[in-house]
Amino acid sequence: MQLFRTRPLVEALARGSVSAEQRAYYLLAGFLVFNLAYYSGFVASGTIPWTPPYIAEALAVILINIVGVVKTFDASGGKENKQYVTEFTCLYVPVSVTTLLVFWGGYWLLRVAFHESIMALSQSNLQFALNMSTLGFDGFSLLAFAATVGSLAVTYIRLVKLLSLVRAARSDA
């Protein structure tokens, strides 16, 4: 796998010698490089890095990406499917757009509609609120955590189903 040099990769792609499995590794590596850069604090995200919620979200996102790419690769036919990355990429666009709209639309709906209630809960003396505060969470960060992790997990669940349908339709044809 070429992580720093593109010339050998260009040549291998031109020869058609990059296997479906290697392409899947490149896809996974791309997600992991982005996730590691973002959650390492190297890329400014607007949140304070290295808090327990931040670390938990980073680990969850990395784990979901690893499991998601492996599951989608298997669902698409694995090594036998030379078009996995193309199919994944094409389906990823509408699936991620609609999933993000639902999850982050829900986040903003809850945040706007129940702002005062979420603030009151976060500042209350309930044990749940105190535990969240100890970990560096408030109600809004808990909602954002759920939207981030939930939307990614649902995106992969949908992709697994859709790639299975593509594989089945291909075998029926």
Write out pLDDT tens, residues 100-111. Answer: 999 999 999 999
pLDDT given at position 59: 93
Q: Average the pLDDT over 83-105 and give the result.
A: 94
Q: To the nearest whole percent, how much of the chain has pLDDT over 90?
A: 65
Given a cut of 60, is residue 46 above it in pLDDT? no
Domain assignment present for residue 47? The answer is yes
- Comparing C-alpha atoms, which of 29, 61, 72 is closest to residue 150? 61
Structural domains counted in the chain: 1
Given a cut of 70, is residue 84 above it in pLDDT? yes
Domain assignment present for residue 40? The answer is yes
- pTM (predicted TM-score): 0.85
pLDDT given at position 41: 67
Domain assignment present for residue 129? The answer is yes
Question: pLDDT tens-digit profile of 135-158?
Answer: 888 889 899 999 999 999 999 999
Domain assignment present for residue 2? The answer is no
- By residue range, what is the domain housing residue 15? 7-172
Domain assignment present for residue 1? The answer is no
Domain assignment present for residue 150? The answer is yes
pLDDT given at position 132: 84
